[in-house]
Every structure is written in C-alpha cells, then in structure tokens.
Amino acid sequence: MSLDDLYKETILDHYQHPRNRGQLEDPDVATRGHNPLCGDEVLLAVKMDGDVIQDIAFGGRGCSISQASASMMTEGVKGHPLGEASALAGSFKELMTGSGSTDGLEGNEDLEALQGVKKFPVRVKCALLPWTALLEVIDRWQSAKGEPARS
Amino acid sequence: MAEQTRDTRGNDAATRSNGGAIGTPLDVAAIRRDFPILARQVHGKPLVYLDNAATSQKPRQVIQALVDYYETMNANIHRGVHALAEEATDAYEGARRKTARFIGADGPDEVLFTRNTTESLNLLAYTWAADNIGPGDEIVITTMEHHSNIVPWQWVAERQRAVLKWVEFGADGTIDLADVERLVTPKTKLVSMTHMSNVLGVINPVKDVARIAHANGALMLVDGAQSVPHLPVDVADLDCDFLAFSSHKMMGPTGVGVLWGRRAILEGMRPFLGGGEMIESVGREVTTYNVLPWKYEAGTPNIADVIAFGAALDYLSALGMDRVRAHEIELATYALERLGGVKDLTVYGPLRAEQRGGVVAFSMKGIHPHDLAQVADYDGIAIRAGHHCCQVLANTLEIPGTARASFYVYNTPEEVDALVAAVEAARDIFSTEVSTVVAR
C-alpha cells in the first residue's frame, strides 16, 4: 500500500481543477449527497433535455476523493441519456465494490484512477458519494416524469 | 464514607512505580513501557497515537485488572452471600470510593456509574430536568459543546417548552464571562458547559460560571469528559452541582461513565432506569427506591470495567494529576510552536498552552482534514479528522471540520515532530501542480 495509489495525479488534477463545479441557474432536479460520519457533501444539480443530461453542476465540500470523484462523474454523464448515466454509475460501483472490472468505463478512463481507493476501504464511501447523489437525481427525475423508478 | 477526603486526591498513591514528587516531570519512557499497544507498528512504522481526546490507550495494569476479575472473582454483586460475590462487590464499590476521592466528592454515594459521559448527561435530562424545567425556563449552554451536551437539552427544551440559550466563543476560542452574566437570568434553571473543549482545547472558567449560575438560582453541570483525564478536577473547588466524565478517555475501559452530583440533589431526583438493584421494595401498588448511589444503577452494572477503571484511577493518581497537566502543557506548547511554523496551517483555540489542554485542532489551506489524517496514518500517526461531534462549533467557525491531535502522558516531543513532518508531506502531495489537459 502506498499513498501514491490513493493520491494519483488524475485525482489531484480533478480536485484542484474540478470540472463542472458551480451552480445551475434553473435546474430540473437537484439533490444533496451527504455523509454524516465524515461531513463530506456533494450538491448536485441537473438540467435535462428530454432524456438527456444537458447540463450538470456540483458543489459542496469534502475530501479530495469525494470532490475528484464528483468532478469525474459530471464529465462522464454530461450530454448522455439517463440510461447511460445510470449504467456508468453501475459500472463504477462494480469497479469500487464488486469485481473491480473496468467494463463499462470505456471513454471514462479517469475513473480508473479511483481504483486505488479500494486499498483504503474507509475512503470508498467518499468516492461513491457523488454517484449515490447521481442515482438519487435520476430516481427523482424519473418519478417526477411518472416513469418507473430504477429497479 | 469516612475514608474519602478532599485533599488526598492524587497524592495517596504517589509512591507507586511511576510516582515522583510533585514538580518533577513524568518519566515518559517508563510510562510508555506500561502501554503494550505503543510497541506495535502501523503500516510498518511505530504507532504515534495522537487521538487521545477520542479515547486513550490502556496501561497493562488496567488490562490485568480485567483479566484478574474474570479469572479470580467473577460474580454478580450486592446480593450474593458467597465469597466471590463479596469480593466482587468490594472491588466494585472500591472503584466508586477511588472515583469519589479522585474528584473530591463528599462521598462515594455521590458517584453514579453509567455507560459514558453521554449517558450521564442524558440521565440528568430525563430525571432532574424533567421535574425542574418548565415552560419559559432557560437552559444555557455554549456553541463549543459536544453533541452529547446539546441534543439532550434540545429535547428537554422541546418537551418542556423551555428556551435553549447559547454562549458564543470568541476568535481565540475563549468565552467572555460578561456574555455568561448577560445570558444567565433568574429564569435560567441549568447552565451546562464543557470544562475543556474537545476541539478548541480551551479550558473554560467553569468555577466562575458556576458562581454566576448559582447567583441566579440555576444549577451548574460540568462536562468533564476532556478535563478529568487531563487536569486536577475537584468538584468542591469548582463548586459545581454535577460533573460527567468517561473512563475510557482516562486509561480505563470503555463502557463506564461517571455522573457525580451533590447528594441533596441526587436524593431529590426521580430514578432513571427501573429494575433490579434500584429498588428498596416492589409491591403491586407501591414501589420504593434504594438509597444513593444504587437508586440510579438499575440492573447488573458493568462490574469488570468499573473495577478496571479503579486501576486506571490508581495509575493516574500515582502519576499525579498536576504532573499530567504539566506534561501536557509542555507538549501543547511545543505543538503550537511547531504547527504554527507550518505554512498555510491554521490552529484553532487559544495559543497559550496555559489556557488550553493537550488538544490541538488545525486545518490547512487546500487540503481537507481527511486527507491530512490519511497522510498521517500512512506514517503510523493516528489523528482524527472531521467535526469531532461538534457541528455547531464547526458551523460557527464556517469550516467543514478540522484535523485534531490530542496528547496524553505517553506522548513525546518527537511524536509532535513526526506529526509536523506528516503535515508537511501532505502539503507536498497536494501542492504538486498537475497539468490540466481538459478545459475547465
């Protein structure tokens, strides 16, 4: 185990230069992901165009892992249909808590940098926080639209 | 009753192994040999344990007391007539006498064993406060309190339509007695305050606050979770009405808390939990209660851990609490000096060690406290990161949390150096400017 596994350059880059950090003027859905144990917070806002995430922004405060993961997540889902966003969340969860397979992460190679977090089990929840918020946003949007929630 | 006196605390066992005359420094090397865990390594490096405000480590004397109890005298206490029951009862009540002596209580019957400080505070909220606080009455606390000294009073205020009032702290982490004078009124029934903040490290003038409370007819509750393990605390000197603290932060086992209260007040309060031991007689219609302290100890108590807590009190008494305090002033002074020299680092609380205990919370620009703690852990250094169960304090300071190092008798200046090196390593990691290829 080495700290280099955790604090990879890609992660520090997203932490220091977060993509899509800020607020949306008129979001269709917003939520707050919060880890009460450590205080990490990810505020997530989404502007939809039909079924497509037209714009997404995150705010809040937290450790390098939660904030870098949020930055990567927004990059991965912006401009994509909800189904793809949901699938990406599933693939990322599989990477972090399941088999460790990188299947489904094609085009989002930055996310693989978070794989090293698995060696620091207490930090896995930091990496997952923004994705949990994303799934919450998808759920809310779909139930507002009267569509069946994700299974 | 006869054997506790107020002036023997801390001195009666001063001739034991680690003891020495008051004024001489602690023999830290000898102390460290008493704590088996300090010999272990973490991530291939020697453990540097700086999370004592969360829980302290245990000397072998305490661990042995647990083993001895289970191997030689395990029995339920108070009602048995057999030898083991008698020995266990003596040992359990002996720990109560030691506790009374340690804090200068008027007698062991004023010492109630609970699970922890939190339970001690809740006991008062459900007993004394339920009968003595009514609509429009006031409870005064501070914004630096631990959640355990906030939430029970919020509930009391809600249930009994009372008013919760907050004493704010200043930029240096201290409270202003003028604010206390202003906030405490004849409507105030209780002032509850931490003796020493588990984040700011500040030692509050609880003796002066007790005087203000009493002048207004209010009672004074002192949360001693951080002070009793680290400073000489004497309830007669503080002239408070209640004192709550925990065994596990002062070398004893987890699962034992103490609530000390003035005898007359405890006698007048309704019991907390109902059941065995706390009763005198139980009838179909009428039940009467046991005398102090057993009136508040329903059910089989945590016998083994209370007895081992007694061993922890012996250990601390042998060291002498004045010398414990002197050691921590020395470490805090050094830590404040070293951390103060680190670029982009902010230390919270008073900067004079005399005004504070050995708790030093800090933050670093651009690095989240969890990342600081993670980098420190990699070097085998245990510090804590987060809000430390003080969200009102964190929100007041407008910070998400802090990293916190907290010291005890076995810590050394070299361990402070290791912490500073880890903090600087974290800064190196996070100040590495990485090239950004994607447009922001």
CA torsion sign for B391, B396, B398, B402 is negative
Residue to mutate among B365, B374, B375, B391, with most A CBs inside 10 A, is B374
Q: Could you tell me the two tokens for B99? A: 């506790």
Which residues partner with A81 through β-bridges?
A: A52
Gap between the Cα atoms of B333 and B353, Å rounded: 5
Residue ending a domain, choose from B301, B316, B331? B316
Chain A residues whose CB is inside 8 A of the B395 CB are none
Contact A3 B401 (CB under 8 A): no
Assess contact for B306 and B281: CB atoms under 8 A: no
Residue ending a domain, choose from B254, B281, B316? B316
A22: nearest CA partner in chain B: B440
The size of chain A, in residues, is 151
Scan for tokens 């008129």, then name that residue: A26
Per-residue pLDDT 10s for chain B (440 aa) are: 333 333 433 334 433 344 456 679 999 999 999 999 999 999 999 999 999 999 999 999 999 999 999 999 999 999 889 999 999 999 999 999 999 999 999 999 999 999 999 999 999 999 999 999 999 999 999 999 999 999 999 999 999 999 999 999 999 999 999 999 999 999 999 999 999 999 999 999 999 999 999 999 999 999 999 999 999 999 999 999 999 999 999 999 999 999 999 999 999 999 999 999 999 999 999 999 999 999 999 999 999 999 999 999 999 999 999 999 999 999 999 999 999 999 999 999 999 989 999 999 999 999 999 999 999 999 999 999 998 999 999 999 988 899 999 999 999 999 999 999 999 999 999 987 665 444 33
Residue B243 shares a structural domain with residue B324: no
Chain B residues whose CB is inside 8 A of the A18 CB are 440
Gap between the Cα atoms of B250 and B204, Å rounded: 20
Chain A residues whose CB is inside 8 A of the B369 CB are 63
Q: Phi/psi class of residue B255: alpha, beta or left (left: φ > 0; alpha: ψ in -120 to 50)?
A: left
Assess contact for B88 and B69: CB atoms under 8 A: yes
Does B348 fall in a domain?
yes
Element (H, E) at B172: none
Scan for tokens 């002033």, then name that residue: B329
Residue B296 shares a structural domain with residue B324: no
Count H helices, E strands: chain A?
Answer: 5, 3
Residue ending a domain, choose from B294, B316, B338? B316
Which of B1-30 are b and which e, b meaning 16 or more Cβ less than 10 Å from the residue's Cβ?
eeebeeeebbeebbeeebbbeeeeebbbee
Q: Which of B194, B144, B99 is nearest to B361 (CA)?
A: B144
Residue B269 shares a structural domain with residue B352: no
Gap between the Cα atoms of B417 and A13, Å rounded: 30
The distance of Cα B160 from the centroid of its chain, to the nearest Å, equals: 28
Q: Which of B50, B60, B54, B45 is nearest to B314 (CA)?
A: B60
Contact B440 A17 (CB under 8 A): yes
| DSSP states of B384-405 | EEE-TT-HHHHHHHT-S-EEEE
B368: nearest CA partner in chain A: A63
pLDDT tier, A100 (very low <50, low <70, confident <90, very high otherwise):
confident
Q: What is the mean pLDDT of residues A109-136?
A: 93
Give the minimum alpha-carbon distance from A147 to chain B in angstroms, rounded to a whole number.
34
Residue B72 shares a structural domain with residue B202: yes
Residue B283 shares a structural domain with residue B329: no
Amino acid identity at A97:
T
Residue B120 shares a structural domain with residue B150: yes
* CATH number of the domain residue B84 falls in: 3.40.640.10
Does B25 fall in a domain?
no
Gap between the Cα atoms of A58 and B263, Å rounded: 56
Does B17 fall in a domain?
no
Q: Which of B400, B362, B398 is nearest to B383 (CA)?
A: B362
The CA-based dihedral angle spanning residues B1, B3, B5, B7, taken in that order and rounded to the nearest 10 degrees = -160
Gap between the Cα atoms of B165 and B186, Å rounded: 13
Gap between the Cα atoms of B209 and A5, Å rounded: 51
Residue B309 shares a structural domain with residue B360: no
Residue B299 shares a structural domain with residue B259: yes
Does B342 fall in a domain?
yes
Does B23 fall in a domain?
no
| CATH number given to A3-141 | 3.90.1010.10
Residue B86 shares a structural domain with residue B203: yes
Does B182 fall in a domain?
yes
- Active-site amino acid positions of B: 389
Assess contact for A105 and A111: CB atoms under 8 A: yes
Does B97 fall in a domain?
yes
Chain A residues whose CB is inside 8 A of the B374 CB are 3, 6, 120, 123
Quote the domain boundaries for residue B390.
45-57+320-430
Contact B368 A12 (CB under 8 A): no
Which of B243-273 are b and which e, b meaning 16 or more Cβ less than 10 Å from the residue's Cβ?
bbbbbbbbbbbebbbbbbbbeeebeebebbe
Amino acid identity at B179:
D
Gap between the Cα atoms of B146 and B193, Å rounded: 9
A10: nearest CA partner in chain B: B434
Q: Could you tell me the two tokens for B348? A: 């919270």
What does the pLDDT read at residue A147? 66
* CATH number of the domain residue B324 falls in: 3.90.1150.10
Residue B371 shares a structural domain with residue B223: no
Residue to mutate among B367, B368, B427, with most A CBs inside 10 A, is B368
Give the minimum alpha-carbon distance from A42 to chain B in angstroms, rounded to a whole number.
13
Residue B338 shares a structural domain with residue B253: no
Contact B374 A126 (CB under 8 A): no
Burial of A79 from C-beta contacts in 10 A (0-12 / 13-18 / 19+): middle
- Number of structural domains, chain B? 2
Give the minimum alpha-carbon distance from A151 to chain B in angstroms, rounded to a whole number.
34
Q: Which of B319, B268, B259 is nearest to B291 (CA)?
A: B268
E-state strands within B150-215: 163-167, 188-194
Does B198 fall in a domain?
yes
When CB atoms are compared, the residue of B370, B378, B394 closest to A38 is: B370
Domain edges within chain A: 3-141
Residue B356 shares a structural domain with residue B290: no
Distance linking the first and last C-alpha atoms of chain A: 37
Burial of B342 from C-beta contacts in 10 A (0-12 / 13-18 / 19+): middle
What does the pLDDT read at residue A148? 59
pLDDT tier, A37 (very low <50, low <70, confident <90, very high otherwise):
confident
